[in-house]
Amino acid sequence: MSLMLDEIRQQPEVLERTLRQEMRGIEALKKALAARRPKMVVLAARGTSDNAAQFGRYLLEISTGIPVSLAAPSIFTLYGAQVDLRDAMVVAISQSGESTDTNLVLERAKAAGALTVGITNEPSSALANMAEFVILVRGGREKSVAATKTYTGQLLAMYLLAYALGAAIDLDDVKRIPDWTASALELEKTIRALAPRYRFMEHCVVVGRGLNYSNAFEFALKMMETCYVVAERFSSADFAHGPIAMVERSFPVFLFTPAGVTWPGLREMIARLNGMGAETVALADRSAGEALKAAQRTICVPSRLVGKKRGKLPEDVFTPIPYIVPAQLFAAALAEEKGLNPDQPRSLEKVTRTL
């Protein structure tokens, strides 16, 4: 068994532990933000952490109404620009806490008077020591180069950050996420049976929208780094604006298809792709009944991923963490099917330092 697969299986425990051990700090952050509400939020990250930031952008803007920007670190590291970050909250996200450019963004933000937050898996890292507030992903050491449990831990941190900013997120719903994640892990045998079909896959597309747009990037990244598949990733809207021209008969397209506001557009996309002869694979859950009938193949999380106290939040708000788990399982199973070691992708190291 690969380390990657072992760490995928650890995720319910990691999420539960993060919730249990981080709530005191989150309440302190919430109190600070009530006295100093930011006018904007800037998220700085690279790689898988940048995909988590993409999710954070959607979640925070939807649930708090505060504008959110994804930082371009080269503005600080290469161009040396001075950015006015007063009245902003700058959040650096890094598994290791040692990403050079991400940390520099936080350092410059702190000097400019921004409120700073670090999200990391390493409590003794440079990032954790620099940030005014820290949300720790309590994942333990991540040994596989391909990040899995730290990604879902970072997504969870975004729910906690939204709560601290006053979003109408009920913690009782958030506390259900570890169980929903455990439910997604029940798909391992099904996904292992599906993987051989794609053993010779060299190209594919992953489609998501809204709160699952980040998952399209993360699923594609996992296939690129562990299976060496050229996996393009798009929102369903962007895909229709040109890239769909690359699709031909039997071309694999994986789609995240939750119930809710993104489904009508995804339904039209699946119908169009089916008409083109593409091979459509929908990742859904039991509340997304239409999606389970529309695509040629489905990977269904055996739970209804709807919060009991959702309030004004969208129907798909709690789908991203359980939805990425079967995608992670698929990448691990496909790498094994291709005879590759997902723990040691060629040309990659666990910590990447760039400027």
- Rounded Cα gap, residues 215 and 232, in angstroms: 12
- Rounded Cα gap, residues 67 and 21, in angstroms: 29
**Residue range 81-124, pLDDT digits in tens:** 889 999 999 999 999 999 899 999 999 999 999 999 999 999 99
The two three-digit tokens of residue 265, written as one number: 């557009």
Please say whether the beta carbons of 177 and 318 come within 8 A.
yes
Fold agreement between 3-169 and 180-337: yes
Between residues 197 and 354, which one has the greater pLDDT? 197
Domain 180-337, second-level architecture:
3-Layer(aba) Sandwich (3.40)
pLDDT score at 310: 58
Outline where 212-281 has alpha helix (H): 213-227, 236-240, 263-275
Q: Which of 207, 218, 184, 165 is nearest to 54 (CA)?
A: 218
- Non-local (6+) Cβ contacts of 31 within 8 A are none
Whole-prediction pTM value? Answer: 0.95
- Rounded Cα gap, residues 169 and 252, in angstroms: 36
pLDDT score at 354: 58
CA-CA-CA-CA dihedral for 216, 218, 219, 220, to nearest 10: 80
Q: How many residues does the chain have?
A: 355
Report DSSP letters for 36-57, one per residue: S--SEEEEE--HHHHHHHHHHH
The two three-digit tokens of residue 184, written as one number: 């997604």
Please say whether the beta carbons of 236 and 264 come within 8 A.
no
pLDDT score at 288: 86
Domain ranges of the chain: 3-169, 180-337
For residue 197, give the DSSP letter.
Answer: G
Q: Which residue do the tokens 């723990």 mark?
A: 343
CATH superfamily of 3-169: Glucose-6-phosphate isomerase like protein; domain 1 (3.40.50.10490)
Please say whether the beta carbons of 290 and 296 come within 8 A.
no
**Residue range 214-226, pLDDT digits in tens:** 999 999 999 999 9
**Residue range 165-193, pLDDT digits in tens:** 999 999 999 999 999 999 999 999 999 99
Report DSSP letters for 111-177, one per residue: HTT-EEEEEES-TTSHHHHH-SEEEE-------SSS--HHHHHHHHHHHHHHHHTT-S--HHHHTTH
- Rounded Cα gap, residues 51 and 49, in angstroms: 5
pLDDT score at 351: 53
Q: What percent of the chain has pLDDT above 90? A: 85
The two three-digit tokens of residue 336, written as one number: 């094994």
Report DSSP letters for 269-338, one per residue: HHHHHHHTT-EEEEEEETT-HHHHHHSSEEEEESS----TT-TTS-TTTT-HHHHHHHHHHHHHHHHHHT
- Rounded Cα gap, residues 224 and 226, in angstroms: 6
**Residue range 296-339, pLDDT digits in tens:** 999 999 999 987 765 679 999 999 999 999 999 999 999 999 99
